[in-house]
Amino acid sequence: MSVSFFVAKRYLWARKSHHLVQLISRISLASIAVCTAALFIVLSVFNGLQAYIGSRFNTFHADIEITARKGKTFPFTDAQRLRIAQTAGVEYVSGVCCDLAVLTCEDRQFIARLKGVETDYYRMKRLDTTLYAGRFVLESGDCPLAVIGSGVERRLRCGISEYLSNHLSVYYPKRSQRWSAAQPMQGLNSARLTPIGGFATRTEYDESYVFVPLSFMQELTAHEGEVTSVEIRLAPRFPAQKAIAELQKQWGPDFVLKDLYQQEAEMYKVMRSEKWAIFAILSFILLIASFNMIGMMALLVLDKKKDMGIFYAMGAETSLIRKIFIQEGLLITGIGACTGVLIGSLCCALQQHFQLIRFGEGLAYPVEVHGSDILGIFAVALLLTLPAMTVPVVRISERLFKNIRHE
């Protein structure tokens, strides 16, 4: 243990000659602890929210999505399907044909996004586990069925059953014919669907999506043998980027391959921006709190003026004496930051186990602790408080040393 650190530790716990110095030291430590605890809790909440929202969206998205770089649709053959299925890590492949269409139920209308998929598409992400009514079945003989989002069902007020007369009428513009105001129905393809299941993922997709058979959607949109995308499920823990690199070689530069996060890139960018904006705001509050360190260090140096004279008379260099006070400030910062992290960890643990704070529909605020956030908090606390403790020590000690030499 160095001499400067030993003395700094003694000064930290020793009683000060002036009660005001003792009080300001405690206030400085408490302010750093409170700010670091707030930083820790807020970052953990954002981590939890990002993981929660990501899990909800990931339930709906495939592990990899292939789309055309230009154009809306592209051909998808059995040979291409087989080649994808033989790629390492791939467990399931489905062509997808997705577009907007008008749904009507009695006198109610709604513009929904119809997603034509394979009949066993529930294997993609076990979407059958998101059902709140009915079954995930898309075909029954020659009758096309539909699995609709909770928001779509609420808008159309249609029953979910294969036995009731609850058919939905579907209208989609014909590609080869212009729309005419005199005979509007002649410019539309029409079909009927029976809603047999309802899903709820607690995302925006519940409000607009309807799953229908791929063949039904291709016929409705007149895109026979074509798809708008190809969706792929990978084996658990198989690296998505490794599979994307291999598939990109097969499909070439005319196609775009996206993993789970790239499919919702804008959402994740917004969440990261919000997280770091809050981090910057709380860091600014920590910077304001560090101003307490300026006054505290100035008073501490003045309080120990006699000790500085004794050290100087014993042959101590000015750099050693300055190091003593700077290390005491570092100790205050470190103890305050550690205390704040412990308080934040305790709050997060209580939230995880007892779900004390809740938001909409009785859901508890999710929290998730990341080690990188802890390192970032300590780094910010050090960077913000180090100048606040160094500047007053250097400035005031210079004047005191001059006085001591004259004495």
pLDDT on residue 161: 77
pLDDT on residue 314: 80
- What does pLDDT average to in each consecutive run of 10 residues of the chain (407 residues)? 77 68 81 92 90 80 95 95 95 96 93 95 83 89 90 92 78 78 75 93 91 95 95 94 96 95 87 88 86 78 77 77 84 92 95 86 84 91 86 72 60
Q: Provide the whole-model pTM.
A: 0.77
CA–CA dist 212, 71 (Å, integer): 22
Listed by start position, the domains of the chain span 3-57+267-406, 62-262
Residue 141 has φ and ψ, to the nearest 5°, of 70, -125
| Contact yes or no for 231/65 (Cβ under 8 A) | yes
pLDDT on residue 362: 67
Residue 97 has φ and ψ, to the nearest 5°, of -125, 110
* DSSP bridge pairs for 95: 230
pLDDT on residue 401: 63
Helices (DSSP H) in 224-264: which residue ranges? 240-251, 260-263
